[in-house]
Structure 1
Amino acid sequence: MPRKPTNIIYSADEKPPLSTLLILGVQHATLALLFIVYPLVAAVEAGLSFDDTQVFITSCIIFMGLATLLECLPKRGAGMLLVQIPNMAHMPLAVQSLAAGGPALYAGMSLIAAVSQLTLSRFMGALRSVFPPEVCGVAVTMLGVALADPALRRAFGISGEITPDLDLRYALVSTVTLVIIIALAIFSRGMLRLFAVAIGAAVGWVMAAQLGVAPEPSPSFATLPYVDLPRLGWPGISFFSWALIPAAIITGVLSAVDMVGTVVSMQRMDDADWRRADLDQAGRAIQANTLADMGTAVTGGFASASSSAAVGVAFATGTTAWRVGAVSGLLIILAAFSPRLIGVLTIIPAPVIGAILIYAAAFLTVAGMELILSRRLSDRRIFTVGLAILTGIAVAILPDLVRLTPDWAQPILESPLSIATAVAIVLNLIFRIGIRQEATRAVTAEENPFTVATEFLEHQGDLWGARRDVIAAAIPVVAEGVEMLLDTGVAPGKLEMRAHFDEENFDVALIYEGEPIAIPTHRPSPEDLLGDAQAVARFVGYMLSKRADKLNVGTDGTRQKLTLRFEH
């Protein structure tokens, strides 16, 4: 079981009290439903009728809730707090498909995107080398950067071009909301911290209403029923637009990468001793999302994706319990039965939403940096991370560059998250060329074992991107083993250090000509230190077996081999 961090009140498998479950579930469900603005914008851009828009939104909400339930359930899904929201990456595909062929074409393209996700999830284990922590860290960091634009626009009330006459009332509401959330998340305990986001949002909403920056309900709002049966449809399925198929495939791949980034963020938050991404868990999350997206497609809705904003809320509340997500999923489904409730969510003040998104963006940016710096960075890895992040930032601050590219490429290049992650993956694969996963170093009796072990293992750790703490733990153990073999004469005159790294384990083998060592299973007596060289070697070997995660004794041809394993 992972060790719970000190800032987490309820971890993934813990069961919060029922009242806490309900209130936290409402927080997450409310935030998720706010993002129905994405399919609304897509529907308006594509010119959908009122009836088609109702089906479009309702199907999205129902399957968004079902996807959240599937994601959160242990074994069937990822078993972690993953709340779904409408998938922003689908907006370009939705607008183009709906405009070119209506709901039927978008349904077909959505199915292709879902199959792309599902196909990628089948190879998650084999993709471990494609998604080392620094690549996952770039994805998580750019999740935060991608949230910055919508967050700041809402916080300052900017709807189009930035002008000098900004309405500072928006900034005031957003600042107060953000300060309350941060203050409660950092300085409070118990219930106040758990409901930091809800309290901050409530105060911000009241303040926005008093200052006159809260939106007014539309005239049709009063006619919306409180309870009504949701409307789903059968749009048909069309695949006739070959020009959109590549965009659909890429959209599916980008959605899978986004899911990996969110899952890694939750894993890192929930485990104080986090070492590597559990890509099998990420694969289950992608599969659950894929099933929901297929259901959305055939009922005429908009696809969903994991919410990075929900990660920030989980951090603020100190709760990553999957049961909170399950409650949130049920509430999202129930919301589809209340048109009036959905109408209320559309009038939450923009600066309140902006404050919540700023909090989430700040957390994700720092969490991504932590992931990047959890490994030793060689020059290759420094350029992998640096160039990838710079590319993503360039897309964010210079969108005009993207508009100069062909129309088919713009949906791919306009997302800072997508382009930065893609660059990181490509550079990681390129820079792996020429790096062997095994390296050797001869050591003689005249050399200082600690100096040799430090220089050799730190150099290889940099090249391989091994974790800093693993290399630091391995150096004194390996140095002690080298010193024992050479000083006792078990290895006469010299030996060979052979290091091997495979993302799962960091192994260092000490290979020498001489007699094998029998490692005792029980602690030798102190008198053994006064015995012959073999007795001393057995004593030291026993101590090494306790300091390494595993010690194996074998042979390498005619030579003896002592392998020290350090789990990575």
Structure 2
Amino acid sequence: MLGFAPRSADRVPVRPATAVYGLNDRVPLGSAAGLAFQHLAVQAIFLVLPVAIGARFGLDVRQATNFLCLSLLALAIFAALQGLRVGPVGSGYQVPAIPSPIFVGIYLVCAGAGLTPGRAGALLMLAGVVALAASLLIRRPQVLVPTELAGLVVVLLGVSLVPVVLGEVHLLKPALPETATKDIAVAAGSFLVMAAIALSRTRLAPYGVLVGAAVGWLAVALLPGDSGIGAVLAANPWFAWPQPVWPDFEGIPVDLELGFVFAMLPATAVLLGNLLALQRAADADWRKPDGGPLRRGLLAQGLTFLATGAIGGMAPSASAACVGLSIANRTLAPIIALLGAAMIAALAFSPKLVALFVAMPGAVKGAMVLYATCFIIATGLQLVTARMLDVRRSLVVGLGLIMGLSVVIVPNLFAEHLPALASPLTFGAMTGFLLHFATSPLMIRQASFALPLDATLPRVAEEQALRLGGAWAAKSATMERVEHFLIEIGEVLASRGLATAQVHARHADGEVIVAVRFTGPPLPEPAAAPHVLALEGETGEQEAFTLWLATRGASWVERRAHEWRVGFDDA
């Protein structure tokens, strides 16, 4: 099924009582602007990535600044498309973006191979086409990246930021004792202010990171020494139009294209992990993933990659730091991210202001990353434990986490022998994905039985549902829907004079699929607009209404002449 279900089919979330701004709440413009600026301050931490990549491409100062401005436009496009609440594109959630740490490795490989940003943009565009095709073909993304695997990726993303924190306060590189001591003191003080404000019950609580950053920046300005901010600002104009770097498709290297496509996998997992985290936070009655917003979110990501490659910026990805911050602040309204996208787009036209964010003191960056990392890891752990972990899932999560931590423990070993995997996120996520897909066939369980179409039908349907649910460790609610389906469709077949029907059931990847085979004329389509008065109508109307009852709890229905296949979500 290539089509998307309408947004009206999405689950209507129950607003959490503790939410400051829920998913559907109106947010005062001043509050939304302050929260969006707080996201912008967190996003500024990662603006050093396109700066570093521009330097590796050999760009001069003006070209590197232009590359950064184009990357900012890509962040705005990502957040704007994700925040759309009408049409087939966009999750409808608040998903700010950052220049993607996931793609840093492949960009550096491109630079080392002598490619230009235009050639890299062409590679990203082709990868975006692959992402678009995948978003249309993947019917249930929550099965492709189950909750615990998405949680593993989010945890590893947080783990991968720990070296960034340590580096910003000079604990990974030699530094003068007084410099290291000053930076550690500023970072610790900023973090404590952020935590204290966030834990307070005042109106400033949602702006804890912003207040802490301002305090840290003021402390740096008052301490002796030249921060270097003045020189950076003087080298850049106030206003300049970003100049697109058009893609160059001549002689596309296949191996590098595969590198971009490969990076899509953890990028997709990061996006789905953030979307699932937002779903959980925005719905007080959350029980399982809602697939519609996830598919539209993947489509928005593919379009963003396509647009980013076309203008020549750096690939963006969902910001787990900003999402974690929104969840911590309980401010989930999409308008906040949309306003932030407008701010970022405006910022892209002012190199001097862009330079101001890049020149943020390292100690303040470290405090902000540390604060966000706490919530990233906590959010990932919540996703990992959203459902009970069996032996297979425990191995997938545990081994993936161990492999990711091994990169943090012995980074030089990976940098020397496995540079393509010298990232906790890349190596840990790849391990988890490979183990998940390799062991998935081992977890497929099947059963077949004859369903009697007589007075024993309800009892047999109940017994079979209980037996299979116990053997498969399926959710009781899922097997209740299976039981009702068997009873309702069995009654329709019994009314036609059939004695038995053959049932084949299958459980795999968080889904129960039930196929019912029968003889005789095909069954009618379930009623599109069911009404109880149909039970007093003609036989066809009665059957259509009953079949609607049978399939109303299903995720999907596939009708054939003598077989109906129905899927029930058990994720």
- The TM-score, its normalising length taken from structure 1, stands at 0.75
Question: Equivalences for 1:166-205 in 2 at 5 Å?
Answer: 167-189=180-202, 191-205=203-217
The Cα shift of 1:10 comes to 0.8
Question: Equivalences for 1:40-439 in 2 at 5 Å?
Answer: 40-75=51-86, 76-99=89-112, 100-154=114-168, 156-158=169-171, 160=173, 167-189=180-202, 191-212=203-224, 215-219=227-231, 221-234=233-246, 236-405=248-417, 410-411=419-420, 413-438=421-446
Counterpart CA distance in 2 for 1:185 and 1:214 is: 31
> Which residue pairs with 1:515 in the alignment?
none
Change (3 A) 1:161 1:381: farther
Q: Is the 8 A contact 1:59 1:301 kept in 2?
A: yes
> Which residue pairs with 2:32 in the alignment?
21
Question: Equivalences for 1:456-475 in 2 at 5 Å?
Answer: 460-461=472-473, 466=474
Q: For 1:118-161, what per-residue CA distance to the aligned partner results, in whole angstroms no more than 9, with x for missing partners?
A: 2332233245433222212212221221222212322x234636
Change (3 A) 1:279 1:342: same
Q: Is the 8 A contact 2:36 2:337 kept in 1?
A: yes
| SS at 2:102 equivalent | helix
The Cα shift of 1:39 comes to 0.6
Q: Is the 8 A contact 2:444 2:507 kept in 1?
A: no
> Which residue pairs with 1:10 in the alignment?
21
> Which residue pairs with 1:540 in the alignment?
none
Q: Is the 8 A contact 1:395 1:414 kept in 2?
A: yes
Between stretches 218-227 and 256-265, larger displacement belongs to: 218-227
Q: Is the 8 A contact 2:33 2:336 kept in 1?
A: yes
The Cα shift of 1:313 comes to 1.9
Between stretches 216-225 and 316-325, larger displacement belongs to: 216-225
Over the matched positions of the two proteins, sequence identity in percent amounts to 24
Count of residue pairs the alignment pairs up: 482
Counterpart CA distance in 2 for 1:281 and 1:168 is: 47
Q: Is the 8 A contact 2:444 2:508 kept in 1?
A: no
Q: Is the 8 A contact 1:157 1:350 kept in 2?
A: no
Q: Is the 8 A contact 2:56 2:111 kept in 1?
A: no
Q: Is the 8 A contact 1:69 1:326 kept in 2?
A: yes
Counterpart CA distance in 2 for 1:78 and 1:72 is: 6
Counterpart CA distance in 1 for 2:389 and 2:431 is: 17
| SS at 1:276 equivalent | coil
Counterpart CA distance in 2 for 1:376 and 1:499 is: 23
**RMSD (CA atoms):** 3.8
Paired AA for residue 197 in structure 2: L
Q: For 1:379-435, what per-residue CA distance to the aligned partner results, in whole angstroms no more than 9, with x for missing partners?
A: 2222121111111111222223323546xxx33x22322332222222223333343
Q: Is the 8 A contact 2:102 2:267 kept in 1?
A: yes
| SS at 2:370 equivalent | helix
Change (3 A) 1:162 1:268: farther
Counterpart CA distance in 2 for 1:51 and 1:180 is: 36
Query: Which protein is bigger by CA-based radius of gyration?
Result: 1
The Cα shift of 1:9 comes to 1.0
Q: Is the 8 A contact 1:208 1:349 kept in 2?
A: yes
| SS at 1:264 equivalent | helix
The Cα shift of 1:73 comes to 1.5
Change (3 A) 1:567 1:359: same
Counterpart CA distance in 2 for 1:250 and 1:113 is: 9
Counterpart CA distance in 2 for 1:507 and 1:328 is: 43
Counterpart CA distance in 2 for 1:399 and 1:159 is: 12
Between stretches 397-406 and 51-60, larger displacement belongs to: 397-406
Counterpart CA distance in 2 for 1:148 and 1:458 is: 42
Between stretches 274-283 and 388-397, larger displacement belongs to: 274-283
Unaligned ranges ≥5, structure 2: 1-11, 450-464, 485-503, 515-531, 533-548, 555-567
Q: Is the 8 A contact 1:265 1:364 kept in 2?
A: no
Counterpart CA distance in 2 for 1:213 and 1:138 is: 42
> Which residue pairs with 1:445 in the alignment?
none
Change (3 A) 1:500 1:120: closer
- The TM-score, its normalising length taken from structure 2, stands at 0.74
The Cα shift of 1:228 comes to 3.3
Paired AA for residue 302 in structure 2: T
Counterpart CA distance in 1 for 2:251 and 2:272 is: 28
Counterpart CA distance in 2 for 1:74 and 1:303 is: 23
Counterpart CA distance in 2 for 1:96 and 1:248 is: 11
